[in-house]
Structures are given as structure tokens and as C-alpha cells.
């Protein structure tokens, strides 16, 4: 009989969002008339920018002609999109990248989950607590951890708690680590990192020869000019950091699928016998072996985001979410809640009232206001006592949800 990869059995059962939806379904079944509003799952709701739609329609029409048909494209993505990314996202911030340092993919979830494959199984991983669950679970599946304890924390992972006490900014690990996951603007806490904070991490990684995996999925929500959009705005970051970006939250591509990963040529890692190896060529090999390229149509749509109309139209959509975030922060503050994030980020991280656990507050909010959020504990033990709201609902739903908060 075939055997399984037993690392999968170490994964925690009762994953966050299935449990949220179980409780919501059961409440709705008992209260069929309740109009539930979700400020829970981090998916966008606004329609795609018109310029993206027309570009994708044209691309599809091309595919129906003999001259315009395209089969497999380059695994790393089309140059037209790579060039638009380099010009608009990086050159404008003083960062030079070569085409072969950018890898187009069908999502940052896959990229942030898959990147660990090119690093050694004995490497020690450092992770913020709370964190996007993909980082932890992909390392568990790969066998880079031991079993989980009663808090759900895995042996051999170095956890970096992020709470109000440290302004949700992780402290440098006190024990040696090899791979560090950072996400700014942060999901779930909505925290951003300024130049000083990022420099501290880049310097630490250079000093200790660690690699930073920098998830910048929410960079387009940054408005403060002092906050870097890319980790490569920090001197020396190309030697130590891989950056992940996605069109999902930036341009509403959660259902279209297009993202990219930057692996600078200067980034090196070692073999067990101490030889120094180029990480870019390993990722290229992995990407080409296991991925056959993002769809041509998605890539044409993504490139349209960088046209002048594309920039303007996507900016307008982001502004809607930003307005929601502002309103949530202001209204909840007025009601006496302690709120964090929500500025330069689409997530609002609030302290649960009356010392409630995050799941107890989830139930109270669902029952009294028919509003759904996400319990902080679902993102890690340090998220206990906190609750995440997202700014991705429609403005009308956000307004209505906030009015109902007054009754909680
Ligand atoms: C939404 C999100 C992503 C993007 O995922 P896609 O697969 O590109 O849709 C990446 N990282 C974080 C933290 C996210 O919340």
C-alpha cells in the first residue's frame, strides 16, 4: 500500500475559515431572516477596472485568430508584463531589476507556499504570530517542523509575537534563524513598516546570512510617502530578500489570478558543505519544472493595470476600500473600541471588548449585530483577544454594519 507524507497529519484540524462559515451557517439556519454582513474573509468585492476588462477581451479575441493565437508562453511570464512591472513598480522607486529577476505566476498564495521548497529542510524558519496561515502550513507539509503543541504552535518554528505591546512589529529573533517571513502592510494586523524597521531586518539578515521572504500583497494600500512599497528600497536588501506581489488586492484579480515574485541575482544561499549558490537559478528551475506560465489573458489584464487609465481606475477602487477602512476605524473608536491598522492597509485589527476571547466576541457580534469578522486567535496564539475586520465590503454594507455595532 502507498504511504502518505505524514507531515500532513501534523496540520491543525478545524482551519479558521471553515469554522467561521460553520458558525455563520448554523446561525443563519436558526435565524433565516437575519441579513448577515461579512467583514470577514479578505476577498475584494468591487468589479474589475474597465480598462482591464477591455484589454482581456481583446486578448481573447486575438486568441481566436490564426495570427493572434498563443499556446504555452514563457514559464516566467511575458516580457510585456515583466517590463511594465519593472518600469512602474520598481524603477520609479530607484530600484533596477533585470527581466530574469521577476517571475510571473498565478498567485502569491502559491508562491509564498512554494518558495520554501528551494531551501534546506534543516533551515530554521521564523514566523510572526499572528500570520497568514500559508507560511506556517507550507513549512509543516514540507517537514521543516515538529508537531504542534496545545497552543497550535509547531516545534522548530521560531515565533515572533506581534501585540499592542510591541506595536505589532516583530522583535529580532534571539536564537539563530535561516528564513524569515515578513508581511507589510500586514495581514491580519494592518501594521506597516517604515524604513527604519525594514532596515533593521535587512541588516539582521545580512549579518546572520538569513533570507527574508517579504510579502507585499497590500503595498498598493500605502499612502504615507515615508512607508516603503518594496523591501528593495532598503540598501542591501537585494542580497537577502525575496519579494512577493500580487494583482489580487491591488487590482481585484482574486478571480483572474496573476502575481509575481522577485528573486534578485545577488541573493545567495549555501549548500551543506558551505558552497555558495545562486537562489535565482534554483527558483527558475523550480518554477519551470512545476509551472507552465500564467494565462496570456490574465497577463494582458495585469499589464493594463499599468496604463495611465489602469492606474487611475484601480486607484479609484482602492480609494473605496480605503474610505471603508477609515470609516471603520473612526466609528469603532467613537464607540470606545481599541483599533489598530486600517491606515495604509485594508485590515482593521481591534481589541475584543470586556476581555472576551476572540471566538466569544465573534459569536457576540454575529448574534447581536449579524456581522461577521475573523477571530484573531485563528492567525496564531498572539492573536487571541483581537479581532480582524476587512475593508473589502461595499460602502453601504460597511455603513450598515457599523450602525449595528452600536447595539453590541
Ligand atoms: C491575499 C493575500 C495574498 C495574495 O494571494 P493571491 O494568491 O495572489 O490571490 C498574499 N499574501 C497575503 C498575506 C494575502 O492576504
Residues 288-338: pLDDT tens digits? 999 999 999 999 999 999 999 999 999 999 999 999 999 999 999 999 999
Measured between its terminal Cα atoms, the distance across the chain in Å is 55
Q: What distance in Å separates the CA atoms of residue 161 and residue 276, rounded to the nearest whole number?
A: 32
pLDDT of residue 41: 79
Question: Fold for domain 14-47+309-405?
Answer: 3.90.1150
Is a pLDDT exceeding 80 seen at residue 27?
A: yes
Q: How confident is the model at residue 407 (pLDDT cuts 50, 70, 90)?
A: confident
Atom of ligand 1 nearest to the CA of 187: 13
Domain with CATH 3.40.640.10 in the chain: 54-307
Q: How do 179-183 and 211-215 pair as beta strands?
A: parallel
Is a pLDDT exceeding 70 seen at residue 14?
A: no
- % helix / strand / coil in the chain, to the nearest 5? 45, 15, 40
Domain with CATH 3.90.1150.10 in the chain: 14-47+309-405
Is a pLDDT exceeding 90 seen at residue 351?
A: yes
Which CATH code, of 3.40.640.10, 1.10.10.10, 1.10.630.10, 3.40.50.970, is assigned to 54-307? Answer: 3.40.640.10
pLDDT of residue 42: 85
Is a pLDDT exceeding 80 seen at residue 13?
A: no
Task: Name every protein residue with a CB atom under 6 angstroms from any ligand 1 atom.
Answer: 42, 107-109, 112, 132, 183, 187, 215, 217, 246, 248-249, 254, 259
Partnered with residue 387 across adjacent β-strands are 350, 375
Q: What distance in Å separates the CA atoms of residue 296 and residue 307, rounded to the nearest whole number?
A: 17
Lowest pLDDT segment from 4-18, 26-40, 111-125: 4-18
The whole-model pTM stands at: 0.97
Cα–Cα distances (Å) from 203 to 14, 186, 208, 268, 316, in that order, read 38, 21, 9, 15, 37
pLDDT of residue 17: 85
Distance from residue 108's CA to the centre of ligand 1 (Å): 5
Q: How confident is the model at residue 15 (pLDDT cuts 50, 70, 90)?
A: confident
Residue 309 CB coordination number (10 Å): 15
Handedness of CA 66, 72, 78, 79 (dihedral sign): negative
Amino acid at each position: 500500500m502507498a504511504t502518505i507524507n505524514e507531515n500532513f497529519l501534523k496540520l491543525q484540524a478545524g482551519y479558521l475559515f471553515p469554522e467561521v462559515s460553520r458558525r455563520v451557517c448554523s446561525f443563519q439556519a436558526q435565524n433565516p431572516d437575519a441579513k448577515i454582513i461579512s467583514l470577514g474573509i479578505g476577498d475584494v468585492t468591487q468589479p474589475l477596472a474597465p480598462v482591464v476588462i477591455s484589454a482581456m477581451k481583446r486578448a481573447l479575441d486575438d486568441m481566436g485568430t490564426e495570427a493572434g493565437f498563443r499556446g504555452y508562453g514563457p514559464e516566467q511570464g511575458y516580457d510585456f508584463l515583466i517590463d511594465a512591472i519593472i518600469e512602474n513598480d520598481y524603477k520609479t522607486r530607484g530600484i533596477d531589476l533585470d527581466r530574469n529577476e521577476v517571475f510571473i505566476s498565478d498567485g502569491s498564495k502559491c508562491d509564498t507556499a512554494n518558495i520554501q521548497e528551494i531551501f534546506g529542510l534543516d533551515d530554521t524558519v521564523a514566523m510572526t504570530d499572528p500570520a497568514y496561515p500559508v507560511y506556517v502550513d507550507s513549512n509543516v507539509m514540507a517537514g521543516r517542523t515538529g508537531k504542534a503543541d496545545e497552543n497550535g504552535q509547531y516545534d522548530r518554528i521560531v515565533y515572533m509575537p506581534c501585540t499592542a505591546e510591541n506595536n505589532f512589529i516583530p522583535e529580532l529573533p534571539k536564537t539563530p534563524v535561516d528564513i524569515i517571513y515578513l508581511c507589510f502592510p500586514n495581514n491580519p494586523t494592518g501594521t506597516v513598516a517604515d524604513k527604519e524597521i525594514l532596515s533593521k531586518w535587512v541588516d539582521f539578515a545580512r549579518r546572520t546570512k538569513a533570507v527574508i521572504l517579504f510579502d507585499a500583497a497590500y503595498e498598493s494600500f500605502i499612502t504615507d510617502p515615508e512607508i516603503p512599497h518594496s523591501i528593495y528600497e532598503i540598501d542591501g536588501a537585494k542580497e537577502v530578500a525575496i519579494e512577493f506581489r500580487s494583482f489580487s488586492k491591488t487590482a481585484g484579480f482574486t478571480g483572474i489570478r496573476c502575481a509575481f515574485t522577485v528573486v534578485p541575482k545577488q541573493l545567495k544561499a549555501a549548500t551543506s558543505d558551505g558552497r555558495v549558490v545562486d537562489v535565482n537559478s534554483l527558483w527558475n528551475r523550480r518554477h519551470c519544472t512545476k509551472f507552465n506560465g500564467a494565462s496570456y489573458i490574465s497577463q494582458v489584464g495585469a499589464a493594463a493595470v499599468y496604463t495611465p487609465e489602469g492606474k487611475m481606475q484601480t486607484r479609484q477602487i482602492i480609494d473605496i476600500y480605503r474610505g471603508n477602512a477609515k470609516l471603520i476605524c473612526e466609528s469603532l473608536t467613537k464607540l470606545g473600541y481599541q483599533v489598530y491598522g486600517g491606515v495604509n492597509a485594508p485590515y482593521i485589527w481591534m481589541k475584543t471588548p470586556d476581555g472576551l476571547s476572540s471566538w466569544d466576541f465573534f459569536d457576540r457580534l454575529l448574534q447581536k449585530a449579524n456581522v461577521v469578522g475573523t477571530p484573531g486567535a485563528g492567525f496564531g496564539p498572539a492573536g487571541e483577544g483581537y479581532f480582524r475586520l476587512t475593508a473589502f465590503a461595499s460602502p453601504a454594507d460597511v455603513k450598515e454594519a457599523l450602525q449595528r455595532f452600536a447595539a453590541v
